[in-house]
Structure 1
Amino acid sequence: MDANRVKPSLHFTGGCWINDPCAPGYDPTTQLYHVFYQCNPHSTNWGNMSWGHAISKDLISWAPFSTPALIPDQTYDKDGVFTGCMAPPSFSQQGHISIIYSSVCALPFHWSTPPYPRYAAGLAIAESSDGGATWSKSINNPVLLGEPESVNVTGFRDPFLAEWPAMDCLYQKKSLYGLISGGIEGEGPTTFLYSVQPNNLCDWSFIGPLVNLPNRFQPSPKWSGNFGVNWECVNFLTLGSGDDNRTCLIIGAEGDVERGHIKYSQSCPSIPPRTIRSLLWMFGNLKSNNNNNNNNNNNKPSVEYTHGGYLDCGSLYAANSFSEPESGRYIMHAWIPEEDISAGYAKEKGWNGALAIPRELFLLTIENVTRSLRSSLVEIASIDSIQQSNGLMTIYTLGIKPIQELSRFRNRFIHTHEWKDMSLSMKTLKLCSTVFPSWELQGIISINPDNCQEVSFYIRHDRDLSIYTRVEFSLHNETIRVDREKSNPDHSIRNCPEEGPFTLFYQKNPFAVEEHESLEDLHIRVISDGDILEVYANDRFALATMVYSPGYTAPMGISISVSGDPKSILVKELRVWDGVPGSR
């Protein structure tokens, strides 16, 4: 195999096509984490949708089963075993694992080619009594033949099932709640809410559409993303605790409004254009659409949008989450597509697609805020800013970070480079070279915004910077951008940029005598793993993408650069961990 085709060491991928992660969860009986994934076991192209299956003790090192867990072998799922979820373990029979999936019996279907074929995708259940080694499909399948009879849908698939205490209070009924994602023809994207009997996972009762938004809803052209015309893989979460919590939905939004930095970048005629979609989140208020709350048949709960933004600003998609029983953490898996290479390139390297490092989602609180770098707090649609009695603002938004287990993994890296309290004497400074395809960078940088326009890291670069990838934070644009233009001289690879909104906040110490405000530090984290690149900032920004760099067998440089006065930044801490054994 070509030395440039290096399989990732920190990310899971298969020797075939893989896409959506399915049914992530934890089995208390075996104390193992599970993740399934849609795959084509026989090719690096999409098709023959089945479920692969992997298990882990730590959410980082995954052991795949040699054979698929589920294949399309029944009349009701003959055209594909599509995305699904794991039932909460406490509601499965003791020692058993139950998974729920979209059973597809008619292809093709897509929101853009109406009418959507009725009953093309139903709902089915499978169960394992041996820790996931073998699976049997329920004799009651299909649990649902398809969408509700009264609704003309643009999509109907990707079930999600969990407890939802706040919905119990609103619906006045103890239940499990299921979502099946899609949209309503002529109305807009949504997810369909079901009540599911806790003692009978085959009993799904339709309540109604959970969200009412118009097509292509986009409350902010910069900060929120476009919510599209059809939804996939919608999950619900309750973030925070007590009275200080938020109802959150994570959403795969399909649409036809492409982001400008992709739409207007140079096209690559040898490969198809990217699928237009975004991975988004929204906060919303739970409410009842009927005043007669004593009549459960007419009480239609819904979630009313309040705030929202990008869950990931790159190509990441098809997120699926679960609540870890003991810690209460919400852990999310998602798929990193490979849409910037040809089918031949994927076939040559032997795999197509990967799962991102699992992330923790939480309610992030930032106190004593006065303003952002440039945008007014009111126009930043991805934050809920509440004024306190002292006149300062408390900000609430979605917190996003890699699971903490990844940090404990660092002792497996071979080399470590470290800098502290470093000032720059030149605009660009080479820091080190990485000699392995897998490495991680983490830094804390103090910035003087009066004399600094951009802070960048040039990574995976050669000696003369003719080949590089640049991770750039622009203070003026309030964006983090991954510039891939010079990442590879191969013109058959699409190297459009990836970009998303991000700003820093000024804060005041409410107990200080002088009313002085200071800008929060930039906390940057970059994870490079073969072709995969993940970028995080300040626990509220994430961007995952593929960067096809040449030269994995030679040292590749990491440099820091400043646009403006080099002394306008202070590198308080910076570390690079290089090389997981076996990552050559």
Structure 2
Amino acid sequence: MRVLSLISLLPLGSLAAVLATSSPDFTQPPIANVSNYPNGSLFYHWRPRAHFIHPSNQLGDPTAFWQAPDGTSHITALYSFLRGTGNASLSTSAFSGSTTKDFVQYEDLSGWQNPVQMGPGNEVDYIADFDGSVVASGYKGLPTLIWTAVKGLPISWTIPYVDGYESQGLAYSQNQGKTWIKLDGGANVPVIPRPPYKGGVVTGFRDPYIFRNAQFDSLLNVSSGEPMHYVTLSSGLHPAQPGLPGVSFEQAGPRVWLYKQSEPGNWLNWTFAGPLLRSTINDTFVTKGSGWAATDYSDGNNYECSQITNLDFDGDSSYEGTGLAYASYGAESNHTLMLYRLGHWDENAGIETTPVNASLADGVVGAKQGVEMQTALEGVLDWGLAYACTGLRDGASSPARRIVYCWIKEAFATQDATKFVTQYISSLTLPRELYVKRVDGVVNDELVRENASWAILDPSSSSNITTIPLTQFAGSTAANRSTVDLVMLGIKPAAELSAFRTNANDSYHHPALTLQPQDFNDNASCIASLNPELRTITAGDNATLIHELFIPLPRHPSSRHYELSTTITFPLSSLRNDTADFAAGISLLRTPQSSSTSEDVAVVYQPRNESVIVQKRTALGASSVLTTPEVGKLRLWNTTAGLEKLHLRLFVDGSALEVYINDRFVLTTRAYYWFADATRVGFVYQMPHNSTMRGEEWKVKFENTTWWEGLTEAYPNRPTDKEELIKQAMGYPEPENNPNAAGIIYNGTGPSPPFPNLG
């Protein structure tokens, strides 16, 4: 009582200071801005247990993946070791990683106490080390890394580019990736020192990806017994403006550049082979207005984090040179997304495609023969917060698979402040498998005939996968058939994640259930025994009122670490029907009905506009987290077997929420619950407030609904006590000096090395 009296007399500023010294109470509403809680006090609350995550500190892009000959996979992510509030930022500038043999559990490669494998500070990378790529046997027959060495800032597609700020360095490892030795001790000797064109016309020059590809070898007439390696670099071209360098507006836009070894086995000299993928500014391959690549300007101005391979119906077919061409890339613009394309590799004229007003930079060796993608389809790799998706060829599996992880960004309103309260920032997604998915017997109508995230399979395809461009479809034999077969990007949780089910410490299965508009009637006896709950909620811009029916599961997980699966059947008549204004799905992380403050996350499908929506209703305010709904687009196909059902698979792991649907749709987001009892799970059916919809034609059926609690601990050999993982009261622990350069001061102080001599 005395304390309460004292607090009541304090001015508001002093009151906030008192509250900030108190640990969070998850039975009471949070303070307005959770970044004012004590440092480290939210370390456990939202922390994932089954995801790849650094011990503490800050995680960025996944990078430098590779697989050793014994099948051990190396999973690495950018790392920040900045300490204290004075030099805190969201930048990540070093490498830290783990190894895994099963994509479920990980071992810190350099130890959790000092995880840095490579950091900046040498001549070639005075500012930062950015994304790179690794081959198991490269320079001197050792694991070899090519990465982007950053020497100057800023580097942004929004401003003129300074040649030399980004170059591509080479490092090798004598201890299987625990540490990396920069070429010539990190001296100013990058292996790809400058963008291909001079004059600052590019928008960026980073994120090298090394790969082998038998189809590239065939197109480029590579006949050597030693495999040829290729490197792509993410970039773009500025449009010329008065007084600023650039190319014509028609030729400007994002690019993926292709490089090849000057000769197989030569890791120090690279030949520029022109564009592998190109687009005009803020353009898209998909039919305008359709939304299948999210926006009509989806490709943006600059590409980042590009990845290249071939995919077939089983997985990665790059070494065989079969299947479809695959490229993924981050698109920087007004709406930054992680996109992909599938298509066919074709020969192009290499540097003969040089844009007007752009000439090769001095010292750049150019090839007059290259490879370029002929796009068949384009889509969104993850509709939520995931970015910088990176993959590897899992050759330990037969047939080989393509395994991909993405960086899950946080959604704090003030991330630089809140990261000290959590003492970590971000994680990677769970591993995903990519392949070419086939959907047979789709009704041949106008719905299949648009440029989108699917393509029509040529029925004459035999040993390879061939698609029919829409411009040629009318004259093809497929046009006269009642059904067609479609191909699209398949994306599903890695098969190894079945361990979450077999190792679960608890589970629950619910019988089939049907919901319909009539159930909103208080006298609906058919669901009375299921303890239905009715409420009015806000949606969208919080100005739209939604009437929601919630049917709780009789049992729910006791933690926030579980997998949930259900199958939902929607009526065919509801698809793309404006009169069918409803949505249905799963509500989770929900407080009890008796709670004075309501919070939950709902994952629903709205058939009217073919949208998957993740709605976030949390006790946390706008000063703490971003609560904008996440929205993606998914079509359920009408086939000879009937309308596809919606197979929903959810992974809840602390704040990490991953939504997988029908092995072709993924949406990753952050679910920032607050209350300790926000653990309920159940079915939801939503309609506009005061809707007059009635009739059994709008009924939705839920089947095979099961949850499995107790996701496998990703790091069984790490301590669980945060005091062991965090070695100081505020900020981040300082690692030992970079083993590759004694005396480096990691916060960027000290004299700058010489700037690159670009010649």
Q: Would you call these one fold, judging by a TM-score over 0.5?
A: yes
Match of 1:45 in 2: 89
The higher-RCO structure (CA 8 Å, 6+ apart) is: 2
Match of 2:509 among 413, 418, 424: 418
Change (3 A) 1:4 1:28: closer
Does the CA contact (< 8 Å) of 1:80 and 1:105 recur in 2? yes
Mapped pair 1:105 → 2:228? no
Does the CA contact (< 8 Å) of 1:109 and 1:116 recur in 2? yes
For 1:500 and 1:423, locate their aligned partners in 2 and report how far apart those are by CA, in whole Å: 25
Match of 2:456 in 1: 385
Bigger shift: 144-153 or 542-551?
144-153
- Measured after TM superposition, the shift of residue 462 of structure 1 is 0.5
Equivalences for residues 48-447 of structure 1 within 5 A? 49-64=93-108, 65=110, 66-87=114-135, 89-91=136-138, 96-113=142-159, 115-139=160-184, 141-150=189-198, 152-174=201-223, 175-186=228-239, 187-196=252-261, 197-218=263-284, 219=286, 220-221=288-289, 222-225=291-294, 226-240=298-312, 245-256=323-334, 258=335, 277-290=336-349, 297-327=367-397, 328-342=400-414, 343-370=416-443, 376-379=447-450, 381-386=452-457, 390-424=481-515, 425-426=526-527, 427-431=549-553, 432-447=555-570
Mapped pair 1:11 → 2:35? no
Mapped pair 1:505 → 2:634? no
Letter in 1 for 2:373: V
Bigger shift: 570-579 or 118-127?
570-579
Does the CA contact (< 8 Å) of 2:213 and 2:321 recur in 1? no
% identical aligned pairs: 24
Does the CA contact (< 8 Å) of 1:523 and 1:537 recur in 2? yes
- Measured after TM superposition, the shift of residue 90 of structure 1 is 4.7
- Measured after TM superposition, the shift of residue 287 of structure 1 is 2.4
- Measured after TM superposition, the shift of residue 571 of structure 1 is 2.5
The alignment's TM-score, normalised by the length of structure 2, stands at 0.68
Match of 2:519 in 1: none
Match of 1:537 among 657, 661, 671: 661
Change (3 A) 1:332 1:2: closer
- Measured after TM superposition, the shift of residue 246 of structure 1 is 1.3
Letter in 1 for 2:383: C
Does the CA contact (< 8 Å) of 2:587 and 2:683 recur in 1? yes
For 1:414 and 1:361, locate their aligned partners in 2 and report how far apart those are by CA, in whole Å: 29
Task: Give unmatched runs, 5+ long, in structure 1.
Answer: 259-276, 510-517
1:421-444 CA-to-partner distances (Å, cap 9, x unmatched) read 444544531113221121111122
- Measured after TM superposition, the shift of residue 290 of structure 1 is 4.0
Mapped pair 1:490 → 2:582? no
Change (3 A) 1:578 1:555: farther
1:457-502 CA-to-partner distances (Å, cap 9, x unmatched) read 1110111282111101111110101111x13332311100111110
Does the CA contact (< 8 Å) of 1:48 and 1:79 recur in 2? no
Change (3 A) 1:297 1:155: closer
- Measured after TM superposition, the shift of residue 565 of structure 1 is 6.2
Change (3 A) 1:338 1:292: closer
Does the CA contact (< 8 Å) of 2:305 and 2:329 recur in 1? yes
- Between Structure 1 and Structure 2, the one with more strand by share is 1
Letter in 2 for 1:459: L
For 2:124 and 2:630, locate their aligned partners in 1 and report how far apart those are by CA, in whole Å: 39
Does the CA contact (< 8 Å) of 2:67 and 2:74 recur in 1? yes
For 2:66 and 2:665, locate their aligned partners in 1 and report how far apart those are by CA, in whole Å: 24
Does the CA contact (< 8 Å) of 2:329 and 2:340 recur in 1? yes
Match of 1:571 in 2: 702
Letter in 2 for 1:284: G
Q: RMSD of aligned C-alpha atoms?
A: 2.6
For 1:522 and 1:291, locate their aligned partners in 2 and report how far apart those are by CA, in whole Å: 44
1:192-230 CA-to-partner distances (Å, cap 9, x unmatched) read 100024412222211112223100012333112301100
- SS for the counterpart of 1:123 is strand
Does the CA contact (< 8 Å) of 2:104 and 2:712 recur in 1? no
For 1:408 and 1:181, locate their aligned partners in 2 and report how far apart those are by CA, in whole Å: 36
For 2:665 and 2:507, locate their aligned partners in 1 and report how far apart those are by CA, in whole Å: 25
1:306-340 CA-to-partner distances (Å, cap 9, x unmatched) read 31010000011001111111321011111011143
Match of 1:26 in 2: 67
Letter in 1 for 2:216: M
Bigger shift: 17-26 or 532-541?
17-26
Does the CA contact (< 8 Å) of 1:436 and 1:555 recur in 2? no
- Measured after TM superposition, the shift of residue 387 of structure 1 is 7.0
Match of 2:591 in 1: 462
Change (3 A) 1:443 1:198: farther
For 2:181 and 2:321, locate their aligned partners in 1 and report how far apart those are by CA, in whole Å: 42
For 2:92 and 2:59, locate their aligned partners in 1 and report how far apart those are by CA, in whole Å: 11
Letter in 1 for 2:271: S
- Between Structure 1 and Structure 2, the one with more helix by share is 2
For 1:108 and 1:479, locate their aligned partners in 2 and report how far apart those are by CA, in whole Å: 38
Change (3 A) 1:576 1:255: same
